[in-house]
A and B are shown apart, each in its own frame.
Chain A
């Protein structure tokens, strides 16, 4: 009798382990636990409206904001900035990284100063930019651009440098010109690094756009949570945070990482 039970239990456990939906169900369960704990804490503390509004309050406020058409607008503005800023940052960073990677002397010259500017960070450079350009769109975009430039530039630099010499030599013995070597060997060879660096840059850009909106007071998700705190609308703050978190998860796991993995595989550099 007990044997039958344990056998069924084991069968179930094996099924569960290999069931591809198991992870999703697990995550849903965790979310439920969080919501439950959250609700409980909201219930017992003083002045929940200010410190920790209950989940249902937050959800209802989201309907409200949606209905007023505000949430989509904020979201759209933030995303637009992210796309624009990251795009320019990548468009500048990738060629820069390539140029540096091609010539050791050039990279020896510029590497330390790049390192220096990267360590300043987009956040620290904000006060300088804001003195120049005020609390404008230009300022926020400059911050995003600055932040997104470095990760991809360094990645590409490293990628070009680590292309195995024998591929370059093979192209040389086929009579390739310098430019043909760059086009046929170095750029494709550095593709995995270009893809990874782009993903990192966009990630950094995402952080920068939220910070930039908060600091410069430009309308968007970052601004929404900042003003929510200021105007004592804590439920909006939490809603904004949840949306920010979910957006990043979707962006990173379902867009950026798959794209990166696909690029790497397509360029045939999968290790068997």
Chain B
């Protein structure tokens, strides 16, 4: 399997907005994501995982190190790297269908083709019947589904998800996590999923990148070899391998959280 996403020696500093003091967000990150892999990035608050995602999304310029997608250097945002944001960011003035089709519209795909693709993805995320609704009529979970559908419909090479379920209630989150798994089985999209919830990372990821606290380094990589088809919450709660992996990640993260300052 080829390396889809490659990060070498990435470091990032920025001056704090209020104090002007330099913040060392990322320190020498080296990682690789293979094609079709679903990778979770997990770590304590402030460890720089969102910074990492923003750099990979091209929304944050970087100076030290390099990042490549399909061998091409990352330099600004682009449709080959789709992003699902934490606050969904679907446009309030467009209907569900028009939001989902937005990426195709931007590319100039003719309407007929666009409509059929949009229907496909509406079905994929289970929003049949809501095509003409507006975001303010939807619940938080549904809005996130629209966001996911929008990103997938634009058919990016890589999907970046920035804690997309952080603002969603616990029950909906469980449903959405299982849906993401289902979608991952169907689309086999290379995905990087940022989260602070350890069990979410273990549930979704083929591999979990555990980050240290600030300055963010790649602390460990935990493999989870459970096939995606078997990943259903009621089964996973009793699965030994899952429990082991999750506890491992939890221990690693707790280490970072409770570590004394150097």
Contact = CB atoms under 8 A, between A and B. Distances in A.
Q: Do A and B originate from a single complex?
A: yes
A167 B79 contact: no
Best-surrounded residue of A170, A176, A184, A185 (most CB of chain B within 10 A):
A170
Contacts of B58: 172-173
A169 B150 contact: no
B79 A184 contact: no
Residue in A173, A174, A185, A267 whose Cβ sees the most chain B Cβ within 10 Å: A173
Interface stretch (B31-39, B81-89, B244-252): B81-89
Contacts of B150: 174
Given A169-B85, A172-B59, A188 B91 contact: yes
B79 A175 contact: yes
Nearest to B134: A268
Interface string B184-213: 000000000000000000000000000000
Given A174-B82, A176-B106, A169 B77 contact: yes
A171 interface: yes
B154 A185 contact: no
Nearest to A265: B136
Nearest to A175: B79
A269 interface: yes
B78 interface: yes
Interface string B83-115: 101010111111000000011001100000000
B109 to A, nearest CB: 12
Contacts of A177: 106
B135 interface: yes
Contacts of A272: 136
Contacts of B91: 167, 170, 184-185, 188
Interface residues of A, number: 25
B57 interface: yes
A184 B106 CA distance: 9
Contact of A174 (B79, B93, B94, B135): B79
B59 A169 contact: yes
Interface in A157-171: 164, 166-167, 169-171
A165 to B, nearest CB: 9
Given A169-B59, A272-B136, A174 B89 contact: no
B82 A188 contact: no
Interface size class for chain B?
Answer: 20 to 34
Interface string B124-157: 0000000000111000000000000011001000
A152 interface: no
Given A167-B91, A185-B91, A268-B134, A173 B102 contact: no
Contacts of B79: 173-175
Nearest to B59: A169
A169 B106 contact: no
Contacts of A172: 58-59, 76-77
A173 B58 CA distance: 8
Nearest to B92: A268
A169 B54 CA distance: 10
A121 interface: no
Contact of A269 (B85, B89, B92, B151): B92
A270 B57 CA distance: 30
A8 interface: no
Contacts of A267: 92-93
B44 to A, nearest CB: 24
A171 B91 CA distance: 9
B118 to A, nearest CB: 14
Nearest to A176: B106
A21 to B, nearest CB: 31
Nearest to B83: A173
B147 to A, nearest CB: 8
A174 B85 contact: no
B92 A174 contact: no
Given A167-B89, A270-B136, A173 B106 contact: no
Contacts of B57: 169, 173
**Residue from the set B78, B85, B93, B134 with the largest chain A CB neighbour count within 10 Å:** B93
A169 B93 contact: no
Interface of B: 57-59, 76-79, 81-83, 85, 87, 89-94, 102-103, 106-107, 134-136, 150-151, 154
Closest 9 CB pairs of A and B: A175-B79, A170-B89, A172-B77, A174-B103, A267-B93, A173-B83, A268-B92, A166-B89, A268-B134
11 contacts: A166-B85, A169-B89, A172-B77, A173-B58, A173-B59, A175-B79, A175-B107, A189-B93, A191-B93, A267-B93, A269-B93
